[in-house]
């Protein structure tokens, strides 16, 4: 088995939390304890790769920069991505290593500060298309106030229900290639547990000289995770979020969970609009791309159900 796990934001920061280092370390401990149990069951020839989101962390850092900009120069969004990628990777690799030590498991864990190539001509960079939610959720009134203070921001409703359903959105260009793919592949082949493409990777474009250059954007971490799955030749893609199963007709009276989808069914449900953009939509789309590439199965479930989902007892399985 070559397993790629894409951790959702709730694996690191819960929605009701302030986001202190203590809170995030505690959440990472809960997460990596479950991951360590998977490692304990793995065979010597099995491989594990981890990716993760960074939305809450990047959002909080952007707020800090806004409030402190009179004293400390704010950094660009690609640098913020690199900073939070390093922060979360550090927390995950430390807590996972500690749990494995307690279990008597000696497997190296390495976090990679990882760039992902995008196109400068991606439609997300133009007009009001920007679709990736970042930072905190707002009420409609708070969203209107944010827009008045920052007319350059794009603010959208990202949830169909709930009072705090509005967030700032930024360009989310499609990932083209993982820049550090060769280094990651070599480490995985050597048996190292690699944490990479955090927050979707640091978005970069190629300039007129063929050099990499960071851009103001946030790549969807599940779509970038799928590209990472191709790099490491994963056969199982496990997407973790805050629900046990994917729901059809989300937010509607006919809402219902689904246990299993074929690739054709997943494509049809996505086209019919069952999965929200910026929420479940990219997760299902990433699973579709993984299967189209040649993956054996993709699973979407919640963090606490990770072991049961891999055993086929729960979650939404998407198969060819």
Catalytic residues: 9-10, 132, 221, 283
Q: Report the distance separating Cα 158 and Cα 276, nearest Å.
A: 8
With beta carbons less than 8 A apart as the criterion, state whether 203 and 81 touch.
Answer: yes
With beta carbons less than 8 A apart as the criterion, state whether 238 and 50 touch.
Answer: no
Q: Which of 8, 26, 42, 40 is CA-nearest to residue 94?
A: 26
Buried b / exposed e over 206-227, threshold 16 CB at 10 Å, is eeeeeeeebbebbbbbbbbbbb
Three-class DSSP labels, 73-111? CCCCHHHHHHHHHHHHHHHHHHHHHHHHHHCCCCCCEEE
Three-class DSSP labels, 280-310? HHHHHHHHHHHHHHCCCEEEEEEHHHHHHHH
Q: Which of 61, 227, 220, 249 is CA-nearest to residue 133?
A: 220
């Amino acid at each position: 088995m070559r397993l790629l796990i894409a951790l959702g934001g709730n694996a690191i920061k819960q929605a009701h939390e302030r986001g202190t280092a203590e809170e995030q370390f505690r959440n990472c401990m809960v997460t990596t304890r479950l991951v360590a149990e998977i490692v304990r069951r793995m065979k010597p020839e099995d491989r594990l790769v981890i990716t993760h989101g960074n939305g809450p962390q990047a959002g909080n850092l952007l707020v800090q920069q806004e409030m402190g900009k009179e004293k400390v120069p704010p950094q660009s969004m690609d640098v913020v991505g690199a900073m939070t990628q390093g922060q979360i990777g550090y927390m995950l690799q430390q807590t996972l290593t500690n749990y494995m030590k307690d279990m008597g498991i000696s497997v190296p864990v390495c976090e990679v500060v990882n760039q992902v190539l995008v196109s400068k001509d991606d439609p997300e960079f133009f007009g009001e298309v920007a679709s990736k939610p970042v930072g905190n959720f707002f009420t409609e009134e708070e969203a209107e106030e944010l827009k008045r203070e920052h007319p350059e921001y794009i603010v959208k409703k990202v949830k169909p229900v709930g009072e705090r359903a509005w967030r700032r959105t930024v360009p989310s260009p499609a990932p083209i290639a993982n820049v550090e793919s060769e280094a990651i592949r070599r480490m995985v082949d050597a048996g190292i547990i690699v944490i990479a493409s955090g927050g979707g990777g640091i978005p970069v474009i190629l300039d007129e000289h063929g050099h990499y250059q960071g851009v103001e954007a946030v790549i969807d971490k599940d779509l970038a995770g799928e590209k990472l799955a191709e790099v490491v030749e994963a056969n199982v893609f496990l997407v973790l979020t805050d629900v046990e199963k994917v729901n059809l007709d989300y937010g509607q009276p006919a809402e219902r969970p689904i246990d299993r989808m074929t690739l054709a069914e997943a494509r049809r449900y996505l086209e019919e609009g069952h999965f929200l953009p910026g929420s479940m939509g990219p997760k299902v789309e990433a699973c579709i791309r993984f299967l189209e590439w040649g993956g054996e199965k993709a699973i979407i479930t919640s963090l606490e159900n990770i072991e049961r989902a891999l055993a086929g007892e729960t979650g939404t399985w998407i198969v060819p």
